[in-house]
Chains A and B, each alone.
Chain A
């Protein structure tokens, strides 16, 4: 059997670990589109409550919310955003001063919003790719 050669490869955004995604989904872009859509939905709903909880100093709640947001980034290969979530989740239980510091919260939320935007763009790109390749 001839090895599959993808003459129209999908080039992932630099914020996405394409190799890791291959280990999860291989080249099933139709399935990946479903996962990206579910993750984007979770991310879009999840960032605002996280910000509200952190700004109110409700670190237990914030930690729980971040715990749920974290794998949504993981499943789409956004390992940097996932790692930021892991650090803040840990801070919510182990370093309250860090977790309630506005100078830490603002950049964290900004990074999550950037990741959300990148995920949204990536999903649109994937939908077009799947249409063009009849996946």
Chain B
């Protein structure tokens, strides 16, 4: 069954291109297209859609203004030609970020994430703990919310979980954590580091900064980091 979507984009060529990608995929039914936030907002608040393709810079209010005003949010794929918005994209927990002009293959990767998130609702419904993990530290089990974790660092046979308030040392391995953390929120950027993507403040070729902490980006992880952040 096809998922429903709408396109909010003021540039006609970009809107036409996105529409064509949606039709070509066979997975999406485009219900409406809008060229500004003012027209899109009431439609989205009155209608249920699965996915929103959202441009950022438009006349009047911008894409982030729209997200702030939605009463209920569909999954969102941001489309923009400015890679600086990639960071805000993760702050808003969007599904993906497509830098225009994006290839059809890149489009398919983004839409594929919609399929994966909609195929795993049962896990969220069952446990209610999908947004956290338990770590054994100082003789007790501590629950850490994913959103509080800045990054995770390997220290030999131990792992350090760094939050804004505190650091937690646990006798475990980074490898075992890779399957436990939310893959949409976290990314391994180095053999010794897994980071929370939404906490990135600045990024350079070989490293990035989270709360003033310099974290290296391993050579073998660079391509993956750039891909996840939608960087060229």
Contacts and interface: CB of A to CB of B under 8 A. Distances in A.
Interface stretch (A49-57, A71-79, A98-106): A71-79
A71 B98 CA distance: 12
Contact of B101 (A24, A31, A89): A24
B88 to A, nearest CB: 15
A86 B12 CA distance: 19
Contacts of B103: 23-24
Contact of A35 (B10, B16, B81): B16
Interface string B7-22: 0001111101100100
A15 to B, nearest CB: 16
Given A23-B103, A31-B20, A74-B101, A68 B57 contact: yes
What size tier do the contact residues of chain B reach? 10 to 19
A70 B14 CA distance: 11
B57 A71 contact: no
A75 B13 contact: yes
Given A68-B57, A71-B100, A42 B11 contact: yes
A39 interface: yes
Contacts of A38: 12-13, 16
B80 to A, nearest CB: 9
B102 to A, nearest CB: 8
B219 interface: no
A23 B12 contact: no
Most buried by B among A24, A64, A70, A89: A24
B13 A23 contact: no
What size tier do the contact residues of chain A reach? 10 to 19
Contacts of B105: 23
B104 interface: yes
From DSSP, what is the main secondary structure of chain A's interface residues?
A: helix
A34 B16 contact: yes
Interface in A65-117: 67-68, 70-72, 74-75, 89
A70 B13 contact: no
A42 B12 contact: yes
B108 to A, nearest CB: 12
A71 B82 CA distance: 10
B101 A75 contact: yes
B16 A67 contact: no
Contacts of B12: 38, 41-42
Interface in A7-26: 23-24
A75 B105 CA distance: 15
Contact of B13 (A64, A67, A72, A89): A72
Given A35-B16, A74-B81, A74-B101, A64 B11 contact: no
12 contacts: A23-B105, A24-B17, A31-B20, A35-B16, A38-B13, A67-B57, A68-B10, A71-B13, A72-B11, A75-B17, A75-B101, A89-B82
Interface of A: 23-24, 31, 34-35, 38-39, 41-42, 64, 67-68, 70-72, 74-75, 89
Given A35-B16, A42-B11, A64-B57, 6 more contacts: A23-B104, A70-B81, A71-B13, A72-B11, A75-B100, A75-B101
